């Protein structure tokens, strides 16, 4: 047994601060940290066009390839459009996720962030949110174009955009978990896919069903509420796993 | 702290190693006994199904594997939670031990499901069957955890990563299962109805009561074997293991 | 906490502040029975030291001896150790926030983003780590950041992207944080790397100033340091018999943890 009595006696009774008293007296900058990280990441992404342009280009190209593979028949394409668009959007977001924490890990700023005395919940939110704005949001904005390419009719176009708006958020939050776990590994990309694709099953089911229902004119509320529930659930819970993943990655 | 003593003991690889050695033969033998009883009973002494004939008999293996596959994932997630909260080495080892065994059981479940599918629905793989589809997803979840273990040079990091993803999976699995269920009911063709199941006669169910615990015990035995390997690897420098190895030799 | 009078007079960012006075006789940081291994290799075992206000310690050892690991362990970046570390009497495993609020860590990696300017880099770091500065007005905050950049000789480059700067200049962006810091504990991993002679002298003066004001510093450095009053911690002294240590720490670590 190592002797720990020495260190026990060195605890100075009058100066021992009960947990949280010291920190809570101070100005707690959680929201300024959230805001500062959001601004910082936007600066980083906007100085690097590829951040938002590459996933979008990828998506257009894969839609092109799908069309070439399936054939030009408009009915077949439209029948499969919802599934194609969702799978492609999912792949686009997933592939961009490897970069979410990679640069921060490599240059040491992730380390500095994890040494913050404040809870990491909001900072992690800020990182995922900033990443979603440059990857998920462009997909939502460009979704009417996908609809045109695959022959989705007028009414279903806003439904597709709404579904992608909610669903891409879920994809970002869940995917960020895998990204946080693999950021210390050199070959993170494929491993992210292995880890997270099974978790994406509900999103792809409800997301494409939402579009399908809109195309067929079926009621939308059930699938819509499921997408909303998934988004809320993943936004609330995923940051906890992401924090754990980042701490583990830094620990290596 | 007295009533936590067992928990502390559980944290000791040496104690666990001894316990596994003592229990393993019993678990293994009772697993084999239960499985043989169940299989013989199921194959020879239950009446054939009026619609499926004899092909239904594969449920005596298929159903237990499906049950244990899912339970195994939850066992793994519990080990993950223990490892995250209490940082117990032994929990990490359990996580590592369960993943490949669980994957193997899931694969067995998929295989028997496909074999059952051929005479019943005329195809080895029918997507409309939500349970098989969910099981395939479960199989991928297991593979992901194994891949994560392999990817890390640093064992502690790998264990921690796997524990986190196992916990995330635990939250996700009910959602995945429900969504696949819903999806398949939506796309079901009129000719095959999977929703009205369990019209099996009670006497056909009895052998299941034996094979399900049998597969559970088999799973436990396989995990214990794996556990022993994990303990040997992590304690390879300790004196007690050296003594044990010398005694064995 | 800066008092209101302090704020009005213009903040003196360089004085160490905390809610508690730094009692000179009480050890603030206690490291006891520390054991670290990497893979199968024991880095050190039974390592112990404690630091009172004004103490500095220099960690010495050859490449791969575990200097960086020790610093990361104390900083709370890695949990892969056995033993006990307390800050102000609180175990740092369970009370990470209390340590991090009063600690500045500068690692091998500067934590400087290449696409951002030095000013932008310093700004987000200051928001995260020196919240007392955020109580200033925005203009004053920026002014303080520029002042710190000026101290490390980067005022002309404040608005240039960091990837256009030299390696030494990028290191200096990280070092500028020391001029903003009020953290009592500084943990600096090779702070003199890629810094020119002038910069080294300035940094040495800054560190001895920090100690003179009751700060603490833990430093690794290959260069000879010209700072007085630094203790040495030689890692090679803590390579004891491996098997003995293993048996000692087998079960006890778990129980000891529960107390902190």
pLDDT tens string A118-128: 999 999 999 99
User: Cβ–Cβ of A108/C108 closer than 8 Å?
Assistant: yes
Question: Does residue A6 lie within any of the structural domains?
Answer: no
- For the segment C75-99, the average pLDDT, to the nearest whole number, is 90
User: Cβ–Cβ of B167/A241 closer than 8 Å?
Assistant: yes
A27 touches chain C (CB under 8 A): yes
- Which of the four CATH numbers 2.102.10.10, 3.40.50.300, 3.40.50.700, 3.10.20.600 does domain C23-102+186-260 have? 3.40.50.300
Is the pTM higher than 0.80? The answer reads yes
B228 touches chain C (CB under 8 A): no
Question: Does residue A23 lie within any of the structural domains?
Answer: no
User: Cβ–Cβ of B143/A194 closer than 8 Å?
Assistant: yes
Which residues in B lie closer than 8 A to residue A251 (C-beta atoms)? 156-157, 160
- pLDDT over 80 at B6, yes or no: no
Q: Which residue of A has its CA nearest to C27?
A: A10
- For the segment A189-195, the average pLDDT, to the nearest whole number, is 90
Q: Which among A225, A205, A213, A109 is positioned nearest to A152, based on CA atoms?
A: A213
Residue ranges matching CATH 3.40.50.300 in chain C: 23-102+186-260
Which residues in A lie closer than 8 A to residue C23 (C-beta atoms)? 12, 15
Q: Which among A22, A17, A2 is positioned nearest to C89, based on CA atoms?
A: A17
CB A89 within 8 A of CB C90: no
Interface test with B, best of C80, C251, C252, C256 (most B CBs within 10 A): C251
B165 touches chain A (CB under 8 A): yes
Both tokens of residue C188?
A: 């600096």
Q: What is the pLDDT of residue B7?
A: 67
Both tokens of residue A36?
A: 């500062």
Query: Average model confidence (pLDDT) for chain A?
Result: 86
d(CA C68, CA C36): 12
d(CA A193, CA B146): 14
User: Cβ–Cβ of B175/A202 closer than 8 Å?
Assistant: yes
Question: Does residue A4 lie within any of the structural domains?
Answer: no
Question: Does residue A37 lie within any of the structural domains?
Answer: yes
- For the segment B77-94, the average pLDDT, to the nearest whole number, is 90
In this predicted complex, what is the ipTM? 0.85
User: Cβ–Cβ of B8/C242 closer than 8 Å?
Assistant: no
Instruction: Report the gap between the CA of B92 and the closest CA in chain C (Å).
Output: 14
Assign B4 a pLDDT band (cuts: 50, 70, 90).
low
Which residues in B lie closer than 8 A to residue A245 (C-beta atoms)? 161, 164
Question: Does residue A7 lie within any of the structural domains?
Answer: no
- pLDDT over 60 at B192, yes or no: no
Domain extent, residue A87, equals 30-251
Question: Does residue A25 lie within any of the structural domains?
Answer: no
Question: Does residue A16 lie within any of the structural domains?
Answer: no
Question: Does residue A15 lie within any of the structural domains?
Answer: no
Q: Which residue of C has its CA nearest to A29?
A: C131
**Angle between the C167-180 and C118-129 helix axes, to the nearest 10 degrees?**
30
By DSSP bridging, strand C82-87 and strand C27-38 are antiparallel
d(CA C215, CA C56): 8
DSSP state letter for C60: E
Q: How many domains does chain A have?
A: 1
Q: What is the pLDDT of residue B44?
A: 84
């Amino acid at each position: 047994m190592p002797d720990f009595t020495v260190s026990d006696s060195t605890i100075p009774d009058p100066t021992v601060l009960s947990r949280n008293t010291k920190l809570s007296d101070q100005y707690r900058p959680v929201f300024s940290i959230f805001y500062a990280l959001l601004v910082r990441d936007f600066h980083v992404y906007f100085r690097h066009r590829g951040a938002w342009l590459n996933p979008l280009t990828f998506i257009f190209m894969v839609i092109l390839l799908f069309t070439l593979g399936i054939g030009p028949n408009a009915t077949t394409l439209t029948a499969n459009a919802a599934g194609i668009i969702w799978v492609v959007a999912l792949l686009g977001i997933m592939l961009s996720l490897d970069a979410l924490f990679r640069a921060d890990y490599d240059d040491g700023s992730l380390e500095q962030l994890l040494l913050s005395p404040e809870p990491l919940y909001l900072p992690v939110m800020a990182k995922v949110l900033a990443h979603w704005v440059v990857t998920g949001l462009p997909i939502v904005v460009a979704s009417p174009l996908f609809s045109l390419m695959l022959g989705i009719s007028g009414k279903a176009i806003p439904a597709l955009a709404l579904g992608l708006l909610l669903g891409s958020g879920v994809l970002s939050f869940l995917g960020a978990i895998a990204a946080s776990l693999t950021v210390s590994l050199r070959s993170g990309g494929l491993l992210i896919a292995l880890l997270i694709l099974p978790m994406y099953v509900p999103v792809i089911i409800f997301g494409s069903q939402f579009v399908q229902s809109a195309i067929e004119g079926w009621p939308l509320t059930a699938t819509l509420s499921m997408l909303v529930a998934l988004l809320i659930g993943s936004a609330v819970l995923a940051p906890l796993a992401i924090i754990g993943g980042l701490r583990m990655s830094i620990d290596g | 702290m007295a009533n936590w003593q067992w928990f502390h003991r559980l944290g000791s690889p040496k104690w666990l190693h001894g316990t596994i050695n003592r229990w393993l033969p019993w678990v293994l033998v009772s697993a084999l006994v239960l499985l043989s009883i169940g299989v013989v009973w199921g194959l020879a002494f239950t009446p054939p199904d009026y619609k499926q004939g004899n092909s239904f008999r594969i449920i005596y293996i298929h159903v237990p594997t499906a049950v244990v596959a899912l339970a195994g994932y939850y066992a793994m997630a519990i080990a993950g939670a223990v490892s995250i909260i209490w940082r117990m080495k032994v929990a990490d080892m359990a996580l590592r031990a369960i993943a490949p065994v669980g994957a193997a059981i899931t694969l067995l479940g998929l295989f028997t499901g496909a074999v059952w599918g051929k005479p019943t629905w005329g195809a080895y793989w029918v997507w409309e069957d939500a349970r098989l589809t969910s099981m395939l997803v479960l199989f991928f979840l297991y593979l992901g955890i194994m891949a994560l273990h392999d990817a890390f040079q640093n064992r502690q990091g790998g264990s921690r990563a796997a524990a986190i993803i196992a916990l995330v999976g635990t939250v996700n699995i009910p959602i995945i299962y429900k969504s696949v269920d819903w999806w398949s009911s939506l796309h079901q063709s009129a000719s095959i109805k999977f929703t009205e199941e369990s019209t099996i006669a009670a006497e056909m169910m009895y052998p299941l009561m034996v094979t399900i615990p049998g597969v559970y015990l088999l799973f436990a035995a396989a995990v214990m074997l794996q556990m022993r390997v994990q303990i040997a690897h992590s304690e390879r420098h300790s004196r007690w293991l050296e003594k044990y190895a010398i005694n064995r030799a | 906490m800066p008092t209101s009078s302090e704020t009005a007079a213009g903040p003196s960012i360089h004085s160490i502040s905390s809610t508690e006075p730094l009692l000179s006789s009480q050890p603030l940081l206690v490291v006891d029975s520390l054991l670290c291994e990497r893979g199968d290799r024991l880095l050190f075992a039974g390592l112990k030291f404690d630091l009172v206000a004004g103490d500095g310690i220099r960690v010495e050892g050859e490449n791969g001896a575990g200097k960086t690991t020790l610093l990361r362990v104390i900083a709370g970046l890695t949990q892969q150790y056995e033993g006990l570390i307390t800050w102000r009497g609180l175990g740092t495993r369970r009370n990470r926030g209390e340590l991090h609020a009063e600690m500045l860590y500068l690692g091998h990696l500067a934590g400087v983003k290449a696409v951002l300017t030095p000013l932008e880099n310093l700004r987000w770091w200051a928001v995260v780590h020196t919240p007392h500065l955020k109580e200033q007005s925005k203009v004053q905050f920026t002014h303080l950041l520029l002042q710190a950049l000026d101290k490390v000789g980067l005022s002309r480059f404040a608005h240039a992207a960091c990837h256009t700067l030299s390696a030494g200049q990028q290191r200096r962006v990280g070092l500028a944080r020391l001029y903003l810091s009020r953290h009592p504990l500084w943990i600096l991993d090779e702070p003199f790397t890629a810094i020119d002679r002038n910069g080294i002298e300035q940094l040495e003066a800054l560190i001895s100033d920090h100690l003179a004001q009751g700060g603490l510093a833990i430093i690794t450095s290959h260069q000879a340091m010209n700072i007085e009053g630094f203790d040495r911690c030689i890692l090679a002294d803590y390579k004891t018999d491996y098997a003995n240590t293993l048996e000692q720490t087998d079960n006890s670590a778990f129980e000891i943890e529960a107390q902190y």
